[in-house]
Chain A
Amino acid sequence: MNGLILSVLLQRLGIALISLFIVSLAVFAATEMLPGDVAEILLGQAATPDAVAGLREAMGLNEPAIYRYFRWLGGLLTGDMGTSYVNDTSVASMIGDRLSNTLKLAGVAALLSVPLAMFLGVTSAMFRLSPYDRIISFLTIAVISVPEFMLATGGVLIFAVYLQWVPALSLASEVSSFGELLRTFALPVGILTVTVSVQMSRMTRAALIDILSSPYVEMATLKGASMPRVVLKHALPNAIGPIANAVALSLSYLVGGVIIIETVFNYPGVAKLMVDAVATRDLPLIQSCAMIFCFSYLFLITLADIAGILANPRLRT
Chain B
Amino acid sequence: MKDDLAQIRDLQVTATTDAGRQIAIIKGVSFDIAKGEMVALIGESGSGKTTIALTLMGYTRTGCEITGGSVLLKGKEMASLTRAEAAKMRGAVAAYVPQSAASAFNPSQKIMDQVVEVSRIHGLMSDTQAQEKAVELFRALALPNPEIIGDRFPHQVSGGQLQRLSAAMALIADPALMIFDEPTTALDVTTQVEVLRAFKSVMQNSDIGGVYVSHDLAVVAQIADRIVVLKGGEVQEEGTAEQILTAPQHPYTKQLVAAFKPAEYATPIDEAITDTILDVQNTFAGYGLIGKDGMPAFVALKDISLTLKRGQNIGVIGESGCGKSTLARTIAGLLPRASGDIQFDGKPLQADLKDRSREHLRRLQIVFQFADTALNPNKPIGTILGRPLSFYHNMGGRQKEKRVEELLDMVHLPTSLKYRLPGELSGGQKQRINLARALAAEPDLILCDEITSALDTVVAAAILDLLKELQNELGLSYLFISHDLSTVQAICDDVVVMYNGEKVEQTKAADMMHATTHPYSKLLLSSVPKLDLGWLDSLEQDPELMRKFSDR
Q: Contact residues of A with B, CB < 8 Å?
A: 213-216, 218-227, 229, 233-234, 237-238, 311-314, 317
From A223, A229, A237, name the one whose CB has the most chain B CB atoms within 10 angstroms: A223
Partner of A224, one of B88, B99, B107, B156: B88
Q: Bound state CA distance, A159 and B121, in angstroms?
A: 49
**How does the 8 Å CB contact mask read for B333-352 relative to A, with 1 for contact and 0 for none?**
00000000000000000000
CB distance from B99 to the nearest CB of A (A): 8
Question: Which A residues are in CB contact (< 8 Å) with B155?
Answer: 313-314
CB–CB B117/A222 < 8 A: no
Question: Which A residues are in CB contact (< 8 Å) with B118?
Answer: 223-224
Pick 23 A–B contacts, CB within 8 A, sort by A.
Answer: A215-B99, A216-B103, A216-B105, A216-B107, A219-B98, A220-B106, A221-B59, A222-B90, A222-B96, A223-B91, A224-B87, A224-B89, A224-B90, A224-B91, A224-B92, A225-B121, A226-B87, A229-B121, A233-B109, A234-B106, A234-B109, A313-B155, A314-B153
Number of interface residues of B (CB under 8 A): 33
From A215, A216, A238, name the one whose CB has the most chain B CB atoms within 10 angstroms: A216
Question: Which B residues are in CB contact (< 8 Å) with A313?
Answer: 107-108, 153, 155
Question: Which A residues are in CB contact (< 8 Å) with B87?
Answer: 221, 224-226
Q: Bound state CA distance, A229 and B106, in angstroms?
A: 13
Partner of B106, one of A222, A226, A238, A311: A238
B59-113 CB contacts (< 8 Å) to partner A: 59, 61-62, 83-84, 87-92, 95-96, 98-100, 103-109
CB distance from B362 to the nearest CB of A (A): 43
Q: Which B residue sits closest to A213, measured CB to CB?
A: B62
Q: Bound state CA distance, A41 and B84, in angstroms?
A: 73
Q: Which 5 A-B pairs have the closest CB atoms?
A: A224-B91, A224-B90, A223-B91, A219-B104, A215-B103
Q: Which B residue sits closest to A314, measured CB to CB?
A: B155
Question: Which B residues are in CB contact (< 8 Å) with A312?
Answer: 108
B57 within 8 A of A: yes
CB–CB B90/A223 < 8 A: yes
Q: Bound state CA distance, A274 and B439, in angstroms?
A: 67
Question: Which A residues are in CB contact (< 8 Å) with B169?
Answer: 223
Question: Which A residues are in CB contact (< 8 Å) with B107?
Answer: 216, 238, 313-314
Q: Which B residue sits closest to A229, measured CB to CB?
A: B121
CB–CB B103/A225 < 8 A: no
Q: Bound state CA distance, A221 and B59, in angstroms?
A: 9
Question: Which B residues are in CB contact (< 8 Å) with A220?
Answer: 106, 117
CB–CB B156/A238 < 8 A: no
Given A215-B104, A238-B107, A314-B155; A222-B84 close (CB under 8 Å): no
Q: Could you list 9 further interchain pairs (A-B, Cβ under 8 angstroms) beyond the known A213-B62, A220-B106, A223-B95?
A: A215-B104, A222-B54, A222-B90, A222-B96, A223-B91, A227-B83, A312-B108, A313-B155, A317-B156
Q: Which B residue sits closest to A216, measured CB to CB?
A: B106
Question: Which B residues are in CB contact (< 8 Å) with A215?
Answer: 98-100, 103-104
B122 within 8 A of A: yes
CB distance from B171 to the nearest CB of A (A): 12
CB distance from B63 to the nearest CB of A (A): 10
Q: Bound state CA distance, A234 and B154, in angstroms?
A: 14
Q: Bound state CA distance, A314 and B153, in angstroms?
A: 8
Q: Bound state CA distance, A234 and B114, in angstroms?
A: 10
**How does the 8 Å CB contact mask read for B164-189 relative to A, with 1 for contact and 0 for none?**
00000100000000000000000000
Q: Bound state CA distance, A234 and B122, in angstroms?
A: 17
Q: Which A residue sits closest to B156, measured CB to CB?
A: A317
CB distance from A166 to the nearest CB of B (A): 44
Question: Which B residues are in CB contact (< 8 Å) with A237?
Answer: 106, 108-109
Question: Which B residues are in CB contact (< 8 Å) with A233?
Answer: 109
CB distance from A197 to the nearest CB of B (A): 26
Q: Bound state CA distance, A271 and B87, in angstroms?
A: 53
CB–CB B57/A222 < 8 A: yes
Q: Bound state CA distance, A163 and B301, in angstroms?
A: 77
CB distance from B115 to the nearest CB of A (A): 10
From B91, B100, B169, name the one whose CB has the most chain A CB atoms within 10 angstroms: B91
Question: Which A residues are in CB contact (< 8 Å) with B92?
Answer: 224
Question: Which B residues are in CB contact (< 8 Å) with A317?
Answer: 153, 156
CB–CB A224/B108 < 8 A: no
Q: Which B residue sits closest to A225, measured CB to CB?
A: B121
CB distance from B528 to the nearest CB of A (A): 27
CB–CB A221/B90 < 8 A: yes
Question: Which A residues are in CB contact (< 8 Å) with B100?
Answer: 215
From B57, B108, B169, name the one whose CB has the most chain A CB atoms within 10 angstroms: B108
Partner of B103, one of A214, A227, A311: A214
Q: Bound state CA distance, A314 and B103, in angstroms?
A: 14
Q: Which B residue sits closest to A240, measured CB to CB?
A: B108
Q: Bound state CA distance, A214 and B106, in angstroms?
A: 9
Q: Bound state CA distance, A69 and B121, in angstroms?
A: 63
Question: Which B residues are in CB contact (< 8 Å) with A229?
Answer: 121
Q: Which B residue sits closest to A235, measured CB to CB?
A: B106
CB distance from B88 to the nearest CB of A (A): 7
CB–CB B96/A219 < 8 A: yes
CB distance from B289 to the nearest CB of A (A): 18
Q: Which A residue sits closest to B59, measured CB to CB?
A: A222
CB distance from A210 to the nearest CB of B (A): 13
Q: Which B residue sits closest to A214, measured CB to CB?
A: B103
Partner of B104, one of A213, A216, A311: A216
CB–CB A224/B103 < 8 A: no
Q: Bound state CA distance, A317 and B96, in angstroms?
A: 29
Q: Bound state CA distance, A311 and B106, in angstroms?
A: 13
CB–CB B108/A238 < 8 A: yes
Q: Bound state CA distance, A237 and B105, in angstroms?
A: 13
Q: Which B residue sits closest to A311, measured CB to CB?
A: B108
Question: Which B residues are in CB contact (< 8 Å) with A224?
Answer: 87-92, 118, 121-122
Q: Bound state CA distance, A237 and B109, in angstroms?
A: 9
**How does the 8 Å CB contact mask read for B26-45 relative to A, with 1 for contact and 0 for none?**
00000000000000000000
Question: Which B residues are in CB contact (< 8 Å) with A223?
Answer: 90-91, 95-96, 117-118, 121, 169
Q: Which A residue sits closest to B151, measured CB to CB?
A: A317
Q: Bound state CA distance, A226 and B156, in angstroms?
A: 28
Q: Bound state CA distance, A56 and B352, in angstroms?
A: 61
Q: Bound state CA distance, A229 and B118, in angstroms?
A: 12
**How does the 8 Å CB contact mask read for B148-159 relative to A, with 1 for contact and 0 for none?**
000001011000
Q: Bound state CA distance, A283 and B121, in angstroms?
A: 63
Question: Which B residues are in CB contact (< 8 Å) with A216?
Answer: 103-107
Q: Bound state CA distance, A234 and B90, in angstroms?
A: 17
CB distance from A207 to the nearest CB of B (A): 14
Question: Which A residues are in CB contact (< 8 Å) with B108?
Answer: 237-238, 311-313
Q: Bound state CA distance, A51 and B109, in angstroms?
A: 72
From A213, A224, A229, A312, name the one whose CB has the most chain B CB atoms within 10 angstroms: A224
Q: Which B residue sits closest to A222, measured CB to CB?
A: B96
Question: Which A residues are in CB contact (< 8 Å) with B104?
Answer: 215-216, 218-219
Q: Bound state CA distance, A226 and B62, in angstroms?
A: 17
CB–CB B103/A222 < 8 A: no
Question: Which B residues are in CB contact (< 8 Å) with A314?
Answer: 107, 153, 155
Question: Which B residues are in CB contact (< 8 Å) with A221?
Answer: 59, 87, 90
Q: Bound state CA distance, A25 and B117, in angstroms?
A: 54
Question: Which B residues are in CB contact (< 8 Å) with A234?
Answer: 106, 109
